[in-house]
A and B are shown apart, each in its own frame.
Chain A
């Protein structure tokens, strides 16, 4: 039986609440005084924290692949066959809207073409490896989940016996389309190919149409007023436009937030409790770090990056990820790039794998490796090969 002679039950409850970031005011100050004075109390706090950390060793269960379908099948028969009832949405709606999708596709064409050219692969060879033991129904469901909502709903409205044929047809169309992209890409390997730049572009209207769309529809809405002004000035004066675009893209798009339901973390109150424990508000207030952190609230990824900075360096490794930091957090297009990186360089793929769950280390390493292997990362980098953007005048 453990000996617990150092704190009263009430003090221990306060201590636990303090460790959970739930104790404030006079009670917190009294407890901090006790912790400062008593090595035994500090040891008690430490052992309670270590115990809590041991819970991280519990494996996390995942629902079986057909969980949604089986749950819906348990509803009344009338509800179960309602059209659209199986419409499982894709998570990557955070990016929002069809225009984003257009831009992602534009970037994907360039990225996909780039790495296929690099590896000299043929259409159809690029399918992601099928998970070991994955049954056809799971594969179909995953394929279905990736389709646009309109097509998905059309498939789901079909009688069950007609769905496999329709899915097979959609797969063939996708293959064909991918082949088209490749053929197109081989003739036009990047958005600049129609008019190769002989000098760094100075104005937005000199950029290829795909890039102009990306800037207007994807990048611009995420900029602060000051950043928009910088971009407008660079465009107007014709000075340093590529550099400004590269910098703004890196700042606003290179670190995607976590997928829903978590989404972007914009405020201290939105942080996971586990993260708050590494930098409790009271500690931040005492060390004068609270106000500067508060000033970064409301904008992604500024607040999350600022929070990582106020966590003591030795503890950052243990922070839960505050943004996308695992392959499954990213869109299928980015996952395809991750797969490609693993194929191109297994040691680097392993390095990337080890960084999983660590933010912002994982997305930064992903971009670094992609840059090294001349791959565009759809939605996280400017469309087209990176080299063409390095007119950092």
Chain B
């Protein structure tokens, strides 16, 4: 027990989010709101990449936070807080995607992503260095990439999203998804091959030179 206590303490000292979660557990005023504020952008973004629908992404992210809140009294720090949070998010998202498979729905186009899509003012901001034609091409490409992501099975998609957008390493992904590191390696390899097959035409279009850099001194 002493050893577990010591480990928890060390983890809490290392990870400010663990400390915050312990405050949520202890019902400290404002702690849960702070946590939602701190993690909402990441969680909504991940959910959106997974389910492709802005409203559903926001609902799932809210549900994940509510589950954290309901489970707060049982919380014991064992690893990084984000790993625990994304484990909850993983379960929710996989359930949602599996339910959708049983009840197929037409995915929304990228440019029609509801209230979470680009806001009117953002849509008016000119994309640096690109004209309207390039912007249309970019939108089309985004739609193709979205479709390619949807060709992956839900576990491959989850691994890709956590690796690409959450910068999680294989060990962290394994912990979130309840897999071995070896299984994650295999999952990501197959996912990348599948993505390449779905985007083959666009991969060869990407042979343009890297934008010229203004050298730092």
Rounded to whole angstroms, the CA-CA distance of A79 and B203 in the bound complex is 51
Known: A58-B146, A72-B36. A64 touches B216 (CB 8 A): no
- 12 A-B pairs (CB sep. < 8 Å): A16-B185, A20-B170, A51-B199, A55-B164, A58-B142, A61-B117, A84-B33, A273-B168, A308-B216, A314-B213, A315-B210, A354-B129
Assess the B69–A68 pair: CB atoms within 8 A.
Answer: no
- Do A13 and B128 form a contact, CB below 8 Å, given A54-B202, A153-B30, A308-B216? no
Closest CB in chain B relative to A283 CB, distance in Å: 17
Chain A residues in the interface with B (C-beta under 8 A): 1-2, 4, 9, 12-13, 15-17, 20, 22, 47-48, 50-55, 57-64, 67-68, 70-72, 74-75, 79, 82-89, 131-133, 153, 260-261, 272-274, 308, 313-318, 353-354, 360-361, 364
Please give 16 more A-B residue pairs, beta carbons under 8 A apart, in addition to A51-B199, A274-B164.
A1-B197, A12-B193, A13-B189, A50-B203, A51-B196, A51-B203, A52-B192, A54-B145, A64-B116, A67-B40, A74-B66, A75-B32, A75-B69, A86-B33, A261-B17, A317-B210
Write the chain B residue with the least CB distance to A11: B189
With A and B bound together, what is the CA distance between A260 and B16 in angstroms?
10
Q: Is the CB of A133 within 8 A of B33?
A: no
B196 lies within 8 A of A47 (CB): yes
Taking CB atoms, residues of chain B closer than 8 Å to A12 are 189, 193
Given A20-B163, A87-B29, A274-B167, are A71 and B62 also a contact pair (CB < 8 Å)? yes
A17 to B183, CA, bound (A): 12
B25 CB within 8 Å of chain A: no
- Whether A68 touches B37, Cβ cut-off 8 Å, given contacts A54-B141, A308-B216, is yes
Give the contact-size bracket for chain B.
35 or more
CB nearest to A89 among chain B residues = B34
B206 touches A50 (CB 8 A): yes
Return chain A residues, CB-CB under 8 Å to B57: 61
A360 neighbours in B (Cβ, 8 Å): 216
Flag if B185 contacts A61 (CB, 8 Å): no
A319 to B73, CA, bound (A): 40
Q: Which of B4-12, B42-50, B94-102 lies at the interface?
A: B42-50
